Amino acid sequence: MRAINKYFLLGVALVTILMILSEGAISQNNSPVVTVMIDINAPPSPTSEEKQIAFDSITNLTNGVNPKGLKVTLFPTGDAILSQRLHITFLANASNYEVAMGGMKKDEKLGLMSSSDQRSTLSQMKQYVQACHICGGKAIAPSGLKPQLFNQSKDTYQILNDMGMLYDAGFQAGVVYLPGHKNDVWPYRIDNLNLYAVPISTYNLSGESILLSDRVARDEKKLSGSQWYDVLAGKFNESTANGDPIVVIFDNDISGRDPAYLDAYLKFINYAFSKKAIFATTSELIGISKAGKTSSATAKTKTSTSAPKSSCPDCDKLKNATMINTTGNSTGQNKTAPADMVVNIKQNFEG
């Protein structure tokens, strides 16, 4: 009888432990994963005023996540890096930012380029991103691409794979996808490559699928700021219930400059934060997906490695100048250093 009681009690204990672990997993699954992608644009050959406008619009968006230390992925264009390199370098060296490739120019169409032209363009973009670092600081190695206008070809996948990229974010859940992946909302592997497709989230609005992009919401769907926030909150609640991630794009030219859209952006960030969402970079989102979609967003991205100290042109000047930007506040009133100082740093994209 004692032996029976012993095994009975052991069984009860095991069941109790399993129930606790199960509840923990369910609780973890109820914390939705949010991947915020910030597109950074700036006009080619900008005036001093245009540089300052771009600088302020970027700051408006980063002020929404910096005080909370929330992780996001930046997708600057090559033109933006040319005029905002100092600002992007400052952000890239913070632990909560991943910097990826957003194309060389706004609205470029990679898919219409030859394979050799694509390779040249993407290689140049990679060099531009890598230049956004401080010697002795964090190594800035882009992990992926979000092509302009979602325009790409099969050559793009192969080139990114050859370059050692981790992901291609040129997909839209249920709208732009590879064969057999129409219903996928998590990242998935592209063919037999070591490259992952990252679908941007979509939301059913009055029977129409809308991409979670502020540019699409404002310029194509003509949504007001409050309507856009309703879409964001609605998708968040839907994804929480389904255990899906939320992958959303905010543009410095839209949410960074339009007061109504900036308000929607800040409200969404605060709402997701209040619901204990896991803010993950795009690379981390892939790590979570590969781990079974239930692990916490603690995977280290390529950009988190420490760079060896070395000599490079203007590193000390860049490091000292970057420190000036720490005077920026988190209230949305942009009293940071003028954007003009960026162009005083020598642009060396070959070293």
- Measured from the Cβ of residue 299, the count of other Cβ atoms closer than 10 Å reads 17
Backbone angles phi, psi at 5, to 5 degrees: -60, -35
Segment 49-59 mean pLDDT? 98
User: Quick one: CA torsion of 307, 310, 313, 317, rounded to 10 degrees?
Assistant: 70
In three state form, how does the secondary structure of 32-63 look? CEEEEEEEECCCCCCCHHHHHHHHHHHHHHHC
Segment 326-331 mean pLDDT? 33
Query: Does 292 have pLDDT greater than 90?
Result: no
Residue 277 lies in a domain: yes
Residues spanned by the domain of 58: 29-344
Cβ–Cβ under 8 Å, residues 75 and 146: yes
* Average pLDDT value for the chain: 82
Segment 335-351 mean pLDDT? 35
Q: Of 194, 198, 160, 213, whose CA–CA distance to 282 is shortest?
A: 198
User: Quick one: CA torsion of 64, 69, 70, 76, rounded to 10 degrees?
Assistant: 70
Q: What pLDDT is attached to residue 324?
A: 30
Residue 12 lies in a domain: no
Q: What confidence category does residue 135 fall into, taking pLDDT thresholds of 50, 70 and 90?
A: confident
Q: What pLDDT is attached to residue 258?
A: 99
Render pLDDT for 103-116 as a digit per residue (tens, 0 to 9). Answer: 999 999 999 999 99
Q: What pLDDT is attached to residue 293?
A: 56
Render pLDDT for 60-79 as a digit per residue (tens, 0 to 9). Answer: 999 999 999 999 999 999 99
Q: Looking at 43-57, 193-207, 284-298, which range is the least confident one?
A: 284-298
What share of residues in the chain are helix, strand, coil (percent, to 5)?
45, 15, 40
Between 15 and 190, where is the model more confident? 190
Q: Of 168, 98, 86, 167, whose CA–CA distance to 131 is shortest?
A: 86
Residue 21 lies in a domain: no
Q: Of 88, 50, 47, 94, whose CA–CA distance to 69 is shortest?
A: 94
Q: Of 101, 202, 201, 213, whose CA–CA distance to 159 is shortest?
A: 101
Q: For the domain that residue 329 is a member of, what is the CATH number? A: 3.20.20.370
Count of domains for the chain: 1
Cβ–Cβ under 8 Å, residues 335 and 328: yes
Query: Could you give the CA distance from residue 214 to residue 7 in angstroms, rounded to a whole number?
Result: 60
Residue 316 lies in a domain: yes
Backbone angles phi, psi at 275, to 5 degrees: -90, 10
Residue 1 lies in a domain: no
Query: Could you give the CA distance from residue 187 to residue 196 in angstroms, rounded to a whole number?
Result: 6
Render pLDDT for 20-48 as a digit per residue (tens, 0 to 9). Answer: 333 333 334 568 999 999 999 999 999 99
Residue 233 lies in a domain: yes
Render pLDDT for 113-132 as a digit per residue (tens, 0 to 9). Answer: 999 999 999 999 999 999 99
Cβ–Cβ under 8 Å, residues 41 and 54: yes
Q: What pLDDT is attached to residue 31?
A: 84
Residue 9 lies in a domain: no
Render pLDDT for 192-231 as a digit per residue (tens, 0 to 9). Answer: 999 999 999 999 999 999 999 999 999 999 999 999 999 9
R_g of the chain computed on alpha carbons = 22
Query: Could you give the CA distance from residue 215 to residue 203 in angstroms, rounded to a whole number?
Result: 15
Q: What pLDDT is attached to residue 12?
A: 40
Global confidence as pTM: 0.79
Q: What is the DSSP letter of 307?
A: P
Q: Looking at 239-248, 262-271, 320-329, which range is the least confident one?
A: 320-329
Q: Which residues of 304-336 are buried (b: 16+ CB within 10 A; e: fewer)?
A: eeeeeeeeeeebeebeebbeebeebeeeeeeeb
Residue 179 lies in a domain: yes
Q: Of 349, 283, 257, whose CA–CA distance to 37 is shortest?
A: 283
Cβ–Cβ under 8 Å, residues 143 and 302: yes
Query: Could you give the CA distance from residue 311 to residue 9 in angstroms, rounded to a whole number?
Result: 66
